[in-house]
Amino acid sequence: MHRAQGDCAYEKGNDCITCLSGCHRDSKQSTLITYIRQAEKLGLKVQAETMVERVEPLGNGYKLYATSHGERVEFECEKLILAGGTLGTNHMLLRSGFGNQLPALGKYFSTHPQYMWFGVYDEEINAHKGMFQSVASKDDRFRQRGFKLENVFAGPVSTALLFNGYGADHEEFMRNYSRITCAEVAVRDENAGELVVDKKGKLIIKKPLTDQDHSRMKDGVSVLKEILAASGAKRVIESPHFFGLHMMGGCRMGVDPQKSVVNPEYQVHGYKNLYVGDASLFPNAPGINPSLTIYALATRLSDQLVGR
């Protein structure tokens, strides 16, 4: 698997399991290391620890109401690009009342459902040591069947949270930590979810699993159990919890204002100079992790705005 990092120092005993919560070596080429540093040199100002609560059209521009370091602050701008992630962008627009003019806002939400399975071996595996997620599946049949397998290994805290139980039973499972490996089935789901806000402005996620989602999950799990058994696992254990990663949709791109929120030029229908530049504009779920697609879409939006 080709990965965007360098100077990981595996030979010095560094372990990439910390990658899940941020790289302490700055080896991981995240946005903080690349785009933001470049943009700061060109004049970008980062307003940290600031929560935007409401967006309001104001003449030819927009006014933002926010809380920064516990104090109320306001911002005004001519052009506004919302890139708060799927949950953040939808939350801002819904809480600001844009749903009254945009019936598709918050709808067509999707997220890859993930099902984690563990294999327990006689010998120590120490799956948390060394390079993180180093092998990628290239079996085209998996994609055709609507799922993919990921060898993401969870740290001790995450592993403990993936299982119910307390006391001696839970302790016994965690004592086997060095002798387990794990992999997960990621399903390409149907975009049947919806994001709404309650009377207090809190974001509510509604994400039912469809018959197709369940079918793809069972198909992927059968393959994963076979792989774990073939690799020598003496026991195969399923986590009782599944979770969703890669939030997408809610501000889907399209040409019909009744069925979409932004047009093919990223502009929110009916609102000049209001754009969306994150995964919330996905029309539906891709079959793989969406990071590179988000980068490509954001780059295209940037080129478009600079060109104008």
**pLDDT confidence of residue 9:** 84
Please name the CATH architecture into which domain 47-106+251-307 falls. 3-Layer(bba) Sandwich (3.50)
**pLDDT confidence of residue 103:** 97
Taking a C-beta distance cutoff of 8 angstroms, is the pair 206, 130 a contact?
no
DSSP 3-state of 200? coil
Of 79, 54, 90, 53, nearest to 252 (Cα)? Answer: 90
* Confidence bin at 8 (pLDDT 50/70/90): confident
Taking the CA of residue 158 as centre, how many other CA atoms within 13 Å lie in the half-sphere pointing to its CB?
A: 14
For CA atoms 39, 42, 48, 52, give the dihedral sign: negative
Residue 110 CB: number of other CB atoms within 10 A?
27
**pLDDT confidence of residue 150:** 85
What is the Cα 82 distance to its own chain's centre? 16
Residue 209 buriedness (CB in 10 A; 0-12 / 13-18 / 19+): middle
What is the Cα 27 distance to its own chain's centre? 21
Return the minimum-mean-pLDDT range out of 33-42, 249-258, 261-270. Answer: 33-42
What are the CA-CA distances from residue 185 to residues 40, 179, 201, 221 (Å)?
39, 21, 34, 6
Tokens of 107: 């709808």
**pLDDT confidence of residue 140:** 84
What CA–CA distance (Å, rounded) separates 233 from 227?
9
What are the CA-CA distances from residue 31 to residues 71, 74, 116, 151, 295 (Å)?
27, 26, 28, 24, 10
Taking the CA of residue 65 as centre, how many other CA atoms within 13 Å lie in the half-sphere pointing to its CB?
A: 10
Mean pLDDT of 100-107: 97
Report the chain's mean pLDDT, rounded to a whole number: 91
**pLDDT confidence of residue 1:** 64
DSSP 3-state of 221? helix
DSSP 3-state of 194? strand
Q: Domain limits of the chain? A: 47-106+251-307, 108-247
What CA–CA distance (Å, rounded) separates 20 from 27?
13
**pLDDT confidence of residue 217:** 95
pLDDT at residue 152 is higher than 80: no
Of 298, 285, 289, 280, nearest to 104 (Cα)? Answer: 280
Claim: this prediction has a pTM higher than 0.85: yes
* Confidence bin at 158 (pLDDT 50/70/90): confident
Structure confidence by residue, pLDDT tens digits, 112-149: 999 999 999 999 989 888 877 777 777 888 988 999 99
What CA–CA distance (Å, rounded) separates 272 from 266?
11
**pLDDT confidence of residue 58:** 94
Mean pLDDT of 218-233: 93
Tokens of 140: 């085209």
What CA–CA distance (Å, rounded) separates 35 from 212?
38
Structure confidence by residue, pLDDT tens digits, 165-197: 788 988 888 899 999 998 899 999 999 999 999
**pLDDT confidence of residue 308:** 64
